[in-house]
Amino acid sequence: MNLPGILITGVSGFVGGRLADSIDSEVYRVVGVTRGAVSKSYPLIEIASLSDLPAPEVFFDGIEVVVHAAARVHVMNASEGDPLTAFRDVNVKGTLNLARKAAAAGVKRFIFISSIKVNGEHTATGQFFSSHDTSSPEDFYGISKHEAEQGLRELAAETGMEVVVIRPPLVYGPGVKGNFASMINLVARGLPLPLGAVYNKRSLVALDNLVDLIITCIAHPGAANQTFLVSDGEDLSTTQLLKGVADAMGKPSRLIPVPASILQFGATLLGKKAVAQRLLGSLQVDISHTQKCLNWTPPLTVKQGLQRCFPNHQD
């Protein structure tokens, strides 16, 4: 019996790799797409870029669903004269090239891993982003994801291929990189941090919660042509998050209760307003549409998600 094929881009990455490893091989046939040589238990197609794909009859042979997790997330070369163009080349042009060829090959559903940055960078206290908000991206990455979403919706209307958009906030889990990894390193070193009195609220999503939602969207009839926000369903202050990380690591949390107003003032003087916004500002998402439409609940609590970041720690 021929199993339905799932093509996943970015399988060497944080989300795509975990997703591909989590899909039941007795239900779906996974094909991974990567830009570099990696060792996996499923077939791989190595490409140079999303703008230069193999022939559709080879690339999409037996594929019913594409999950597009590959993306340009950071500016790799700070000397680039036009970083927005660099983001657009991958996140917009590359995405739409992949999607057009998928539609032409008869792919039924295209799942696009976007970003909450399409909604914006922060929310006011007690306010939540929703899937029905007017988009308000601020940085190059968010702008490129927004433009890709727009192009995908136009393509869906033209071709009938179903498009599913998922916008995660910060994703954490085993092997996480970036700002979350830096925070883990600070806690692990036992350094005292002046973040013991921050009362913001931020939505996060555990990697396995995000993966569970993506898998749900592969076949759920209610997912077609929908936009879903995702989180753990438990919003934390920066202070609570640092304490949670320390607990998961089995380390003491050394947090000094410095008022957020003083931290904000100091960050402004040092030219670190963006860093302060991430640490002190709020960003909350409303996942009620996702839960209702898909009858979905995050399988992991925040505590369980943080514990999975440190599998070697035993209580």
Q: CA distances (Å), 129 to each of 199, 230, 292, 297, in order? A: 19, 11, 16, 18
The angle formed by the CA atoms of residues 177, 140 and 131, to the nearest 5 degrees, is 85
Dist. CA 120–CA 300, nearest whole Å = 26
What is the distance in angstroms between the CA of the first residue and the CA of the last residue of the chain? 45
Dist. CA 66–CA 111, nearest whole Å = 6
Strands 109-113 and 162-167, bridge-based pairing: parallel
Q: Of 42, 141, 172, 199, which is the active-site residue?
A: 141
Reduce the secondary structure of 25-86 to three states and give it as a string: CCCCEEEEEECCCCCCCCCEEECCECCECCCHHHHCCCEEEEEECCCCCCCCCCCCCCHHHH
CB atoms within 10 A of CB 290: 27
* Of 167, 169, 135, 133, residue with least CA distance to 150: 135
* Of 285, 282, 291, 290, residue with least CA distance to 241: 282
DSSP one-letter code for 193:
B
Contacts of residue 274, defined as CB under 8 A and 6 or more positions apart, other chains included, come to none
- Which residue matches tokens 């505590």? 303
Active site residue 141: yes
Q: What are phi and psi of 113, to 5 degrees?
A: -85, 100
Question: Could you give the residue numbers annotated as active site?
Answer: 141
